[in-house]
Chains A and B, each alone.
Chain A
Amino acid sequence: METAAKQPARRHGAPDERQGDPGEAAIVLGLGNPCLGDDGVGWRVAELLRDRLAARQEPGGGAVEVDCLAVGGLRLMERLVGYRRAVLIDAIATGRQPAGTVAARTLASVAGISTHLGSSHDASLAVALAVGEAYGAALPDEVLLVTVEAGPSFEFGETLSPPVAAAVPRAAERVLELLS
Chain B
Amino acid sequence: MSVITIDPVTRLEGHGRIEIRLDEAGAVRDAWLQVPELRGFERFCLGRPVEEMPILTNRICGVCPEAHHIASAKAADAVYGVEPPRPARLLRELLYSAFFFADHTTHFYALGGPDLLVGPDAPVAERNLLGVVHRLGLEIGGNVIQARKSGHAVVAIIGGRAVHPCTAVPGGQTKGIGEKERAEIERIGRWAVEFAQGSLRLFDELVLGDPAYRALLEGETYADRTYYLGLVDEQNRVAFYDGSASVVAPDGERIGSYTAPEYTDWIAERVEPWTYLKFPYLRKVGWKGLVGGKDSGVYCVGPLARLNAADGMATSLAQAEYERFYATLGPDGGSAAAPGRRRRPVHNRLAMHWARLIELLYAAERMVELATDPGITSQDVRRVPDRPPSEGVGMVEAPRGTLVHHYRTDARGVLTAVNLLVGTTNNYAPISMSVARVARDLIRPGAEVGESLLNRIEMAFRAYDPCFGCATHALPGQMPLEVTIRDAGGEVVQTVRRD
Contact = CB atoms under 8 A, between A and B. Distances in A.
B138 interface: yes
A157 B465 CA distance: 28
Contacts of A35: 44, 56, 59-60
Given A1-B128, A112-B478, A121 B472 contact: no
A150 B110 CA distance: 30
Contacts of B124: 1
Contacts of B476: 93, 112-115, 118
A123 interface: yes
A127 B60 contact: no
Contacts of A111: 478
Interface string A135-155: 101000000000000100011
Nearest to B15: A120
A93 to B, nearest CB: 7
Contact of B63 (A3, A112, A119): A119
Task: Give the residue among A34, A128, A150 with the most B Cβ atoms within 10 A.
Answer: A128
Given A69-B163, A70-B164, A78 B125 contact: no
A39 B40 CA distance: 15
Contacts of A69: 163
Interface residues of B, number: 51
Interface stretch (B142-150, B244-252, B267-275): B142-150
Interface in A137-180: 137, 150, 154-157
A72 B473 contact: yes
Contacts of A72: 62, 473, 477
A135 B141 contact: yes
Contacts of A119: 13, 62-63, 477
B38 A154 contact: yes
Task: Give the residue among B103, B124, B467, B472 with the most A Cβ atoms within 10 A.
Answer: B472
B35 interface: no
Contacts of A18: none
B11 interface: yes
A3 B474 contact: no
Given A33-B473, A116-B473, A154-B38, A123 B110 contact: yes
A113 B473 CA distance: 12
B499 A71 contact: no
Task: Give the residue among A70, A91, A93, A157 with the most B Cβ atoms within 10 A.
Answer: A70
A50 interface: no
A46 interface: no
Nearest to B142: A135
Given A35-B59, A119-B62, A127 B128 contact: yes
Task: Give the residue among A4, A91, A120, A123 with the most B Cβ atoms within 10 A.
Answer: A120
Interface of B: 11-14, 16, 38, 40-41, 43-44, 56, 59-60, 62-63, 65, 103, 106-107, 110-111, 124-125, 128-130, 133, 138, 141-142, 145, 148-149, 152, 163-164, 465, 467-469, 471-480, 499
The 4 closest A-B pairs by CB, nearest first: A118-B477, A120-B13, A156-B44, A2-B125
Given A39-B472, A115-B473, A120-B16, 5 more contacts: A120-B11, A121-B12, A122-B129, A134-B130, A156-B44
